Structure 1
Amino acid sequence: MTATDFLDGYVPRTATEAADLERVHALLAAGDPWSRSISLHVTASALIVHPPTRRVLLRWHARQQTWLQTGGHADPGETDPLAIALREGREETGLDDLVPWPDGAVVHVVVVPVSAGGGEPAHEHADVRFVLATDRPEAVRPENPAAELRWLSVPEAQALTTSASLREALARVGRMFGDA
């Protein structure tokens, strides 16, 4: 599937998300939305959860200096955002049993600023977010020592991150868990 397939019929929940979704649709219509050579490009990410314990996994992102969800850029030839989120999740956590939860639908669409670094200028990510689940949370392994991973309750994760858009995505996961 393509990003357009996932976003057709997606209903934003806030005015900000509606504006971000409009920007993403324009980007998808303009050419290669995954190209890192453009200042706004599509990325895919996921909140990884362990439903029986109602915990979520966050990853320390050294470049951004904050706790975030797993995810990132498409590799050459990739156009399926769920497949990208799954690949990135597996690479960043070592969890090889990740599956879409509960159904593989997009859970959040947001445009986020990314500061300059690593040889890249400041730019924006049009992030398409999913929820993935594992049955083996104890198998988690960071991809490198600087990319610490933590299993947290939704309120703990919301308190730990500095990202307002991630706090919103976490709130949506909390509602999926049946929390108020």
Structure 2
Amino acid sequence: MTLHDDAVLVLKEYGAQPELRELYLEHLTAHPDGMYKPCGAGHLTGSALVIDPSRGRVLLTLHKKLGMWLQMGGHCEPGDPTMAAVALREGTEESGIADLTLLPGGPVRLDRHAIPAPCHWHLDVQYAALAPAGAAEQISDESLDLRWFAYDEVAGVADTSVVRLMESTLARLS
């Protein structure tokens, strides 16, 4: 199975956000290269909100290019077997935390956002990743900073897409 095939399967099984889910599926049908950055019409990305439920906190990265507090995430790479693997790889690379585990149940949310040309859209498939006990984060080259925030602090530092992702993650945890 290819990463494209996996993305289609994951999206077909995703039960929420039906209009956005259909837009993603239409994109993949129209663009066989729609998984990867060179696709000018946009491409899928995978992200992971790293959470520590035992301490009631989330780990956010201050994105180097955007200057915004965001979840870990990024582009699909040719060796990625699944969308879950993309999210887990990005979460691990950008947090520096080994042994992250994805929250069961597949993606938590989808988020489509505009990006500068030559590409036009990121179609983000968002997961949540649980940090192991005693996890020590380490800043990556892609970040200006990396910081844990209490759940109630996130709305004060991050945009609504991150807040929605956190709320959906917390709902799935309960």
Following superposition, the deviation at residue 177 of structure 1 comes to 4.3
Following superposition, the deviation at residue 129 of structure 1 comes to 0.5
- Of 8, 12, 19, which residue of structure 2 is paired with 1:8? 12
Following superposition, the deviation at residue 25 of structure 1 comes to 0.5
Cα distance in 2, alignment partners of residues 29 and 62 from structure 1: 32
Q: For structure 1, which segment, 29-38 or 143-152, has the greater mean C-alpha deviation from structure 2 after superposition?
A: 143-152
Cα distance in 1, alignment partners of residues 67 and 119 from structure 2: 15
TM-score, normalised relative to structure 1: 0.84
Relative distance call for 1:79 and 1:32 in structure 2 (3 A) is farther
Cα distance in 1, alignment partners of residues 8 and 143 from structure 2: 34
TM-score, normalised relative to structure 2: 0.87
Cα distance in 2, alignment partners of residues 45 and 4 from structure 1: 17
Letter in 1 for 2:24: V
* Unaligned 5+ runs, structure 1: none
Aligned to 2:26: 26
Mapping of 1:13-162 within 5 angstroms?
Answer: 17-30=17-30, 31-38=32-39, 39-101=41-103, 103-114=104-115, 116=116, 121=118, 123-136=120-133, 138-144=135-141, 146-161=143-158
Relative distance call for 1:96 and 1:48 in structure 2 (3 A) is same
- Of 161, 166, 171, which residue of structure 1 is paired with 2:167? 171
Cα distance in 1, alignment partners of residues 26 and 84 from structure 2: 20
Q: How many residues get paired?
A: 168
Relative distance call for 1:137 and 1:145 in structure 2 (3 A) is farther
Cα distance in 2, alignment partners of residues 145 and 109 from structure 1: 22
* Unaligned 5+ runs, structure 2: none
Contact 1:21 1:110 in 2 (8 A): no
Following superposition, the deviation at residue 53 of structure 1 comes to 0.9
- Give CA deviations for 1:31-67 in whole Å, capped at 9, x if unaligned: 1221212231100001001121121111001212211
